[in-house]
Structure formats: structure tokens, C-alpha cells
């Protein structure tokens, strides 16, 4: 089974592949307006239980994103328990992405 977390560097490589994972942003809308990654599907953590089974493909890789990686890890583990075996949390969240990959994304 996949590691529950993926590093920003590993996600960067996967994002640029022919079959990139779905990037699931579980932060609140104000957070996504403050700092976001292109192509992310915004689904606030509180909406995941009601939306996941209709909007996500359980066979597709999913990388879950939040601010620092705690909410995303919770959601990734919940998704795995629901049959989304390829769900992983972006370790360190968008904060780690901003610090190590793309410094143009604001810190907050």
C-alpha cells in the first residue's frame, strides 16, 4: 500500500506526468483564495463526506492538500477507509510547497 503521505518534491514529479493525480484541496475557500495550486479541486474538509463518492474516482490517485498537512492526512486516511486506496496527503501542506517548490505562493 502507498505511504499515507507524499512529499512536495514527489508530487511535483507526479503532477508533471501523463497521468497526474487529482489534487484535492480540503481547505476553506478563504484559504484557497489566499494561496492555491493550479488545477486543485476545492472540497472543504467538512464537505468531503457528502461529496467524495460522487466527485472522486476511487481508482485514481488523489493527493490531498491543506495548510500544514494535518487536515489532509485525516482526509486521506478517511478516503482510504472508504475505498480510495490511492489517496495520499501532501506532507507539510501548501506551506511546505511554498517554502520548497514555489516561493511565489504566499505563506499565511
Active site residues: 66
Listed residue (73, 94, 76) closest to 86, CA to CA? 76
Which residues 6+ apart lie within 8 Å of 85 measured at CB? Answer: 1, 2, 58
Measured CA to CA, the distance from residue 81 to residue 91 in angstroms comes to 19
Decide: 62 and 84 in contact? Cβ < 8 Å. Answer: yes
- What are phi and psi for residue 58, nearest 5 degrees? -65, -15
Amino acid at each position: 500500500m502507498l505511504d499515507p503521505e507524499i512529499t512536495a518534491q514527489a508530487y511535483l514529479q507526479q503532477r508533471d506526468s501523463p497521468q497526474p493525480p487529482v489534487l484535492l484541496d480540503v481547505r476553506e475557500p478563504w484559504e484557497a483564495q489566499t494561496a492555491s495550486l493550479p488545477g486543485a479541486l476545492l472540497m472543504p474538509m467538512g464537505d468531503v463526506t457528502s461529496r467524495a463518492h460522487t466527485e472522486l474516482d476511487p481508482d485514481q490517485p488523489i493527493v490531498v492538500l491543506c495548510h500544514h498537512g494535518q487536515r489532509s492526512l485525516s482526509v486521506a486516511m478517511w478516503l482510504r477507509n472508504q475505498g480510495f486506496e490511492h489517496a495520499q496527503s501532501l506532507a507539510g501542506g501548501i506551506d511546505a510547497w511554498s517554502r520548497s517548490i514555489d516561493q511565489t505562493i504566499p505563506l499565511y
